[in-house]
């Protein structure tokens, strides 16, 4: 919904005002919606990790989802204004948060991608 | 989960990690050498991650053939599709990043297209209404 709302803003704003918005729009859709949906469905659907802990280490999953969303939020705030200069630190933080989040989510799901 | 699905899904997750790592450097804007690699970032995440994961899950989870063996269709075309898809991702992604001639990028994209055709050919007959293709009562399978 956030991505589509930004899409509406992009459609009605002037080219100068929408600088930075296309990248935010794409990443909210591809990371915030698609990738997050994939990991949610994988967490539900993939073979059990073990009889005792069928979903594997859930703390990793929670940490990954939290960091991914914080990273996206930081990006959504910083990126539209990045072209004007001083948001470099926020963008670096956002990239680092999303990278660690993806690493945690992959480590969480990896043991469940296995042959029976 | 069959071993080919494991191969596709694990490679997809590695592509996600690689693409995200590249994206983090792109977002930071340094080192300068990574700035030209945006096309590889896009290729890794859209094709190497999204498409490849869909292929792996589809090969695993779509209804199996009721009367044919192997039940998920021939494995060789799917194994070939893995090579074509991942080769295509790197050929096209690096080609666009380094500004190679168009035929080089076209080769990568053609490789991806062949992979899609192979996987779609496997999946197509497996996409069917519930119960279709099963022997009816009294019918010899």
* Share above pLDDT 90 across residues of chain B, in percent, rounded to a whole number: 76
- Computed over every residue of chain B, the mean pLDDT equals 91
Q: Residue B105 belongs to what domain range? A: 3-125
B95 in a structural domain: yes
How many domains are there within chain B?
A: 1
B136 in a structural domain: no
On chain A, the residues whose CB falls within 8 A of the CB of B27 are: 75, 91-92, 94-95
Task: Give the span between the Cα atoms of A52 and B29, in whole angstroms.
Answer: 44
Extract long-range pairs of B64-68: CB within 8 Å, 24+ residues apart. Answer: B64/B126, B65/B125, B65/B126, B65/B133, B66/B133, B66/B134, B66/B135, B66/B141, B67/B133, B67/B134, B67/B135, B67/B141
Q: Which comes out higher in pLDDT, residue B133 or A39?
A: A39
B133 in a structural domain: no
On chain A, the residues whose CB falls within 8 A of the CB of B60 are: none
B65 in a structural domain: yes
How many domains are there within chain A?
A: 1
For residue B5, give how far its alpha carbon lies from the nearest alpha carbon of chain A (Å): 8
Task: Give the span between the Cα atoms of A103 and A88, in whole angstroms.
Answer: 23
pTM, whole model, 2 decimals? 0.89
* Structure confidence by residue, pLDDT tens digits, A43-84: 999 998 888 888 888 999 999 999 999 999 998 888 877 555
For residue B45, give how far its alpha carbon lies from the nearest alpha carbon of chain A (Å): 9
Residues 6+ apart with CB under 8 A from B3: A115
Q: How many CB atoms lie within 10 A of CB B135?
A: 10
Q: Residue A12 belongs to what domain range? A: 2-112
On chain A, the residues whose CB falls within 8 A of the CB of B9 are: 113
pLDDT at B140: 54
Question: Minimal Cα distance from A23: which residue of B?
Answer: B27
B134 in a structural domain: no
Beta carbons of A95 and B23 less than 8 Å apart: yes
Report ipTM for this prediction.
Answer: 0.87
pLDDT at A21: 84
């Amino acid at each position: 919904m956030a991505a589509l709302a930004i899409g509406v803003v992009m459609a009605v704003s002037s080219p100068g005002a929408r600088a930075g918005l296309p990248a935010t729009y794409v990443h909210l859709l591809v990371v915030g919606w698609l990738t997050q949906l994939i990991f949610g469905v994988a967490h539900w659907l993939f073979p059990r990790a073990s009889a005792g802990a069928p979903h594997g280490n859930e703390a990793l999953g929670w940490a990954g989802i939290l960091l991914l969303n914080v990273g996206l939020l930081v990006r959504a705030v910083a990126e539209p204004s990045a072209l004007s200069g001083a948001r470099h630190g926020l963008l670096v933080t956002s990239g680092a948060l999303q990278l660690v989040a993806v690493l945690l989510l992959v480590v969480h799901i990896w043991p469940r991608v296995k042959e029976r | 989960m069959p071993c080919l699905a494991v191969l596709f899904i694990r490679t997809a997750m590695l592509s996600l990690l690689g693409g995200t790592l590249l994206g983090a450097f792109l977002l930071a804007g340094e080192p300068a050498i990574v700035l030209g690699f945006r096309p590889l970032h896009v290729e890794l995440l859209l094709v190497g991650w999204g498409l490849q994961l869909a292929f792996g899950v589809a090969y695993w989870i779509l209804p199996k053939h009721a009367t044919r063996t192997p039940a998920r269709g021939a494995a060789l075309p799917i194994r070939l599709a893995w090579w074509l898809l991942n080769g295509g991702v790197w050929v096209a992604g690096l080609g666009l990043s380094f500004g190679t001639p168009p035929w080089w990028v076209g080769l990568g994209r053609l490789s991806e297209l062949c992979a899609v055709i192979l996987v779609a050919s496997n999946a197509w007959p497996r996409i069917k209404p519930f119960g279709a293709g099963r022997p009816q009562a009294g019918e010899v399978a």
